[in-house]
């Protein structure tokens, strides 16, 4: 009976150790995910800004306002 209790106690200790390790790992993974989320938000903002600049440049190249081919209004 004592041997059985010792085996069960050892198994419980092993499980507790694994749970503690997993809790620590989950905390680390959560930190990584939070950092990646911040990076993604920043990248999305940069892509939006670049897309807006691209649209503006495309508009200018295609003869929009400020085109070099356009004569000033006093002509």
- pLDDT tens across 7-32, in order? 999 999 999 999 999 999 999 999 99
Model pLDDT, residue 64 = 72
Query: Cα–Cα distance between 8 and 11 in angstroms, integer?
Result: 5
Task: Write the CB contacts of 69 (distance below 8 Å, at least 6 apart in sequence).
Answer: 63
- Could you read off the pLDDT of 29-72 as tens digits, one per residue? 999 999 999 999 999 999 999 999 999 999 999 987 555 556 66
| Three-state secondary-structure class, residue 71 | coil
Confidence (pTM): 0.63
Residue 30 to residue 21: CA distance in whole angstroms: 14
Token readout for 70 is 């356009």
């Amino acid at each position: 009976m004592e041997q059985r209790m010792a085996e069960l106690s050892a198994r419980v200790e092993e499980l507790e150790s694994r749970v503690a390790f997993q809790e620590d790992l989950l905390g680390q993974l959560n930190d990584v995910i939070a950092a990646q989320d911040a990076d993604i938000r920043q990248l999305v903002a940069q892509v939006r800004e670049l897309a807006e600049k691209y649209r503006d440049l495309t508009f200018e190249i295609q003869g929009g306002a400020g085109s070099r081919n356009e004569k000033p209004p006093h002509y």
